[in-house]
Amino acid sequence: MQHIKMRAALLLLSVAAVEGSSSCPGTFSSNACSLFETSMSYLEYFWDPVAGYLFDETDQTPASAMRHETRTSTWYAVGLLARNQGDDVANAERVFRNVVSGQFTDASKQWYGTYQKEPEEPLLGTAVYPAEIYDTWDPNWRGFIGTSLIIALEEYSHLLSSELQELLLQSLYHNAVGDSYRVGGVDGDNLYPCYSNPSIMRAVVSGWTGRRLNDTNMTAAGEMYGREIVSLFNLTNTLSEFNSATYTGVSLYGLALWEKYTPDDSILKQNAARMISATWESVGQLWHPGMRNLAGPWDRTYGWDMNRYLGILAPWIWLFVGREASSVYYNVAAMSHHSDFAFGPLLAILADVHVALVPAHVQSALKSFQGEHTYHAQAYSPPFDFALRNYTTWVSEKLTIGAISFDEDVVGGPSNNPGQWSPAVAQWYQGDGTDVGYLVHYATESAIDAEVTPGCLKLTYPYGNSSSIFTFLLSPPTPNGTLLDWNDADGLDVRITTYPEMSLNLTFAGAFGGASETIHDFEFYNFTYTLPQSFTGLPWVQLEMKTQ
């Protein structure tokens, strides 16, 4: 794990290298410049000049055997245009032509308008390569790649040939029409307005492309999508996909596009600044500058400590506080889910408009701890939620505790993924005080009534019955420690009370063994409680916590 002195020393070395020769556009702030250069250096490592693609850098994948990847290649191409040195523009044009050549253009297919994941893949929808949504093809890549093409055309069209510009516009047409095929609950698709990040990107791709091509139906579709997103946001003044270190970052990216590239008469433009500001208000309440973490609970996560995994929110925070305070490790490739750092060039390009919309008091809260406080919020994700989700998070200097009260039709949150949905979370300093410990309630129930007070978490299960289990995942001690019960928690005293008295099974999930596999590359101890077979009533679990 990171240690402060080592982080600082290595950071100084990397900053010195950046300061030695800048390749940033002159309009970038110093933080935007360092983010741009560091993320471009990261991407440069995977560049294949023979193929005109990036090698697949997803999650440290030596098993990719030097295959290539389409989406991050596109993000890199936009960065090349921004840098505009040497062969950058020519290489960007190669990437764009490659990506567009791999777009699916058969309008009779559900995957019309999206793009190959890799150029090496077989023909999609054949017997040897069946179409599996979110597996062999990803509908969200329309948004990720389409928005990248918009940035390229808006910011750098003067560098691109007329022929290539037309090619990109044609690709955006296929993209926007294909995305209109998506209907939540139909053909395995899950795109409802509450799926915030792809919905926000969908609206801007459709609206922007419709205006550029004078297609009034496409423009109206983008406005309609935007109206649905805004109406849902207005219910709670929060994103439906709430408090995610990854997807809040993507939603903020999409909203920045609304603000920068749509006209004043668009519902997207009219609401973007307000939605960005409100979203950052939540982040400011939940970001812990000392732990460099977004306090829980989390709707969707790819890890339990942002010092160890790369959430897209962290590069956004970099723009306000610099690299080290953002939680982005000096060697990004050592982090879990590091491939999302490929987003860095796009965020740096949008930094000027975005940073200006974040309130000054929020920017202060990102830089220094603002004192102990409790934060309440709500979010809503129809059709999954039977009622508003209620969030309570207590944030103190050395310990944070947060939980959601919810009632849903699925186990695992609106994304229907128990590994990402973290309905109750605690974080604290462990070891010598430079590492962050985590306690996560793994989803096993479709409803919880949660109470969070200073130092205490109580979870009641309205639908709990004799077959229910309640699972808590606890971080391993810092090196050379072993957990045999709650008393061995590193840096945290835990007193647990259950009703009724429950049986406990304690196991370990490790990278090299144990009773189960890691989740998001994170090792953990699994405390699972089971109810007596004869029990009827309303079970609950209470954890009282204090730091050592």
Tokens of 127: 């017997």
So what's the pLDDT on residue 59? 60
Are 361 and 383 members of one domain? no
In a domain, residue 8? The reply is no
Are 357 and 480 members of one domain? no
So what's the pLDDT on residue 40? 98
Strands (E), 365-478: 373-379, 389-395, 399-407, 424-430, 435-442, 447-453, 456-460, 469-474
| Domains: count for the chain | 2
Asked if 526 and 508 count as a contact pair (C-beta separation under 8 A), the reply is yes
Tokens of 109: 């297919």
Residue 289, domain extent: 30-366
Are 420 and 542 members of one domain? yes
Q: Is the dihedral of CA 266, 270, 276, 279 positive or negative?
A: negative
Low-confidence ranges of the chain (pLDDT < 50): 1-20
Are 291 and 431 members of one domain? no
Q: 3-state DSSP call for residue 490?
A: coil
Are 406 and 333 members of one domain? no
In a domain, residue 404? The reply is yes
So what's the pLDDT on residue 321? 97
Are 197 and 139 members of one domain? yes
Are 258 and 385 members of one domain? no
In a domain, residue 24? The reply is no
Q: Which of 317, 230, 278, 297 is nearest to 441 (CA)?
A: 297
So what's the pLDDT on residue 22? 74
Give the contacts of 67 (CB within 8 A, at least 6 positions apart): 55, 56, 118, 120
CATH code for the domain of 297: 1.50.10
Final residue of a structural domain among 322, 341, 366 = 366
pLDDT, tens only, 297-319:
999 999 999 999 999 999 999 99
Alpha helices in 213-263 (DSSP H): 216-236, 247-261
Are 458 and 477 members of one domain? yes
Are 341 and 393 members of one domain? no
In a domain, residue 23? The reply is no
Alpha-carbon distance of 488 to 485, in angstroms, equals 6
In a domain, residue 3? The reply is no
In a domain, residue 230? The reply is yes
Are 321 and 389 members of one domain? no
Q: For 438, phi and psi rounded to 5 degrees?
A: -140, 140
Are 375 and 361 members of one domain? no
Final residue of a structural domain among 311, 338, 366 = 366
pLDDT, tens only, 316-341:
999 999 998 999 999 999 999 999 99
Output the CA angle 168-174-180, nearest 5 degrees: 135
Final residue of a structural domain among 366, 383, 418 = 366
Are 145 and 180 members of one domain? yes
In a domain, residue 428? The reply is yes
Compute CA 230 distance to the chain's CA centroid, rounded to the nearest angstrom. Answer: 20
So what's the pLDDT on residue 291? 97
In a domain, residue 205? The reply is yes
Alpha-carbon distance of 408 to 260, in angstroms, equals 36
**Cross-strand partners of 516:** 509
Q: Which of 182, 273, 280 is nearest to 230 (CA)?
A: 273
